[in-house]
Amino acid sequence: MSASRTPTSPSAGAGASAPIGGPSQAPIPQPRPEMPAASPPAAVSPAADPAPAAPEASAPAASTPAASNGAASPTSPSAGADASKPADSAVNSCPVGCPRCKAKITKEQLKEIFTSASDDKLTEVANAFNEAFEKFEINTCLRKAHFFAQVREEVGPTVKSLAENMNYSVDGLKGTFKYFRDNPQEAALYGRSKGQAANQEAIGNRAYANRLGNGDAASGDGWKYRGKGFIQLTGRSNYQNVQNEIDRRYPGSGVDIMANEGDILTVKGGMISAMGFWTLNNLNTKADMGARDADVDRITAVVNKHTHSYAERKTHFKTTKKVFKVPECPNWDGDGQNLLDRLKSAE
C-alpha cells in the first residue's frame, strides 16, 4: 500500500482507532525459501522428481505485523469456549457486518477445496482452523479464501503431504540444489537412480546445511527442519520465528514445533504453524488488498516465490472465493475496490 498512513475502519467500534494491520519495519532475519511443493515420498518412476523451484533463491525479507494498540475488540459470537475473549482483529473481524466473516468453517466447505480428503481428515482440519482463526485474525471471507487457496496447493487434495518430499533423482538434485551441483559425486551417491532409492534424509541434510539457521550436514538440521506443515515451513530460524509468533498470538496452544519435532506434522500443529507464518509475514494485509489475480500472486510470492504453481494457486482461489462467498461479502464490493481502498475513501 502506497499511502503514507494506514487507514482505520470507520465501523470498528471501540477499535476504530486501531490501524488495519499495516506492516512494521522490523525485518525477519530469514524468510521461507522457495522449494518444491510437498508430495508423498511414495515410489515414483526414475524420471520423476519433485517440482524444482529454485530453492537457493532468496525472497525479500518480510516484516513483522504491527502490534495492537490495546483497544478493545468485539468478541466472536461463534468462538465456542472463547466467546468471551476479544477477537483480537485489526479489522475487528467484520468491519461492514458480514456474519460469515467471523463464522467457523465447516467440513462441507472444506470438502469443496480438499476434494479427495476423508471426512475424518476434513473434520480435523476444520477443528484446527476454528480453534485458532480469531487469534491469527484470519477472520474475513476474503482472508479465509486466500489462506485456503495457498494451503490447498501446499498439501494437495488429500491433506496428506505435511512434509517436503526429498525423493530426487541424481539429475534432479543437480538441477535443483546448488550443493549437489557443486558436489556431483554426492548427488550420485544419495540421489535416486536405477536400482537405487533416494536417501532422502541425507539429501535434506546437505541441501539445507548452513542455511536458514541450520547447522552443517552432520547436525541433522536440514532434514529435521525441511519443509513441513500446511504452509511448508523450512529452516531452523524460520521454525523459531514462527514458534515465537504462535507463542505471542496463542499462548498455551499446546503446539511447540521447536521442542516437539512431531507437532508440525499433526493437523493441529500443521495448521497453527501455517497461521503463524501467515501473520508473521503480514499476509492478512496482503489478502485485504483484493480478490484479483494480482492479489493471489502477491501472496504466492511470499509463500513460495519461485514456485511453478502460480496458475494453480489462482485456480484454487477461484474455488475458495466461491466456497467462502467472497462476492456476497459486504467487505468486498465485487467491483475491484478492496476493503483498504474503501476505508481510505471514507476518511
Q: Flag whether pLDDT at 4 surpasses 50.
A: no
Give CA–CA dist 209/200, Å, rounded: 14
The stretch 70-84 carries a mean pLDDT of 30
Contacting residues for 239 by C-beta, under 8 A, at least 6 apart: 225, 233, 257, 258, 264
- Please give the pLDDT value at position 338: 54
Q: Flag whether pLDDT at 33 surpasses 90.
A: no
- Please give the pLDDT value at position 330: 82
Averaged confidence pLDDT in the chain: 77
Is the separation of the CB atoms in 104 and 127 below 8 Å? no
Residue-wise pLDDT for 107-142, tens only, equals 999 999 999 999 999 999 999 999 999 999 999 999
- Identity of the amino acid at 149: A
Is the separation of the CB atoms in 155 and 161 below 8 Å? yes
Closest CA to 88 of 100, 106, 75, 99: 75
Contacting residues for 265 by C-beta, under 8 A, at least 6 apart: 162, 163, 228, 229
Q: Flag whether pLDDT at 256 surpasses 50.
A: yes
Q: Flag whether pLDDT at 17 surpasses 70.
A: no
Provide the angle, in degrees to the nearest 10, between the axes of the packed helices 310-323 and 141-155: 130
Closest CA to 307 of 53, 68, 94, 127: 53
Owner of C-alpha cell 475513501 = 345
Would you place residue 99 in the very low, low, confident or very high pLDDT band (cuts 50, 70, 90)?
A: confident
* Greater model confidence, 128 or 38: 128
- Identity of the amino acid at 116: S
**Where would I find the H helices in the chain?**
107-113, 119-132, 141-155, 170-176, 178-182, 184-190, 200-207, 221-224, 236-249, 267-280, 283-287, 293-304, 310-323, 339-346
Would you place residue 342 in the very low, low, confident or very high pLDDT band (cuts 50, 70, 90)?
A: low
CA distances from 116 to 110, 121, 149, 253, 321 (A): 10, 10, 16, 29, 19
- Please give the pLDDT value at position 102: 87
* Greater model confidence, 141 or 19: 141
Is 92 strand, coil or helix?
coil
- Please give the pLDDT value at position 344: 57
- Please give the pLDDT value at position 94: 55
The stretch 294-315 carries a mean pLDDT of 95
Q: Flag whether pLDDT at 15 surpasses 80.
A: no
Q: How many C-beta neighbours within 10 Å does residue 29 have? A: 11
Sign of CA dihedral 121, 123, 128, 129: positive
* Cell numbers that stand for 111 in this block: 470438502
Task: Give the rounded percent of residues in the chain with a pLDDT score beyond 70.
Answer: 68
Lowest mean pLDDT among 94-103, 245-254, 306-315: 94-103
Would you place residue 340 in the very low, low, confident or very high pLDDT band (cuts 50, 70, 90)?
A: low
Residue 8 phi/psi, 5-degree rounding, is -110, 160
Closest CA to 9 of 17, 88, 21: 17
- Please give the pLDDT value at position 161: 74
Would you place residue 284 in the very low, low, confident or very high pLDDT band (cuts 50, 70, 90)?
A: very high
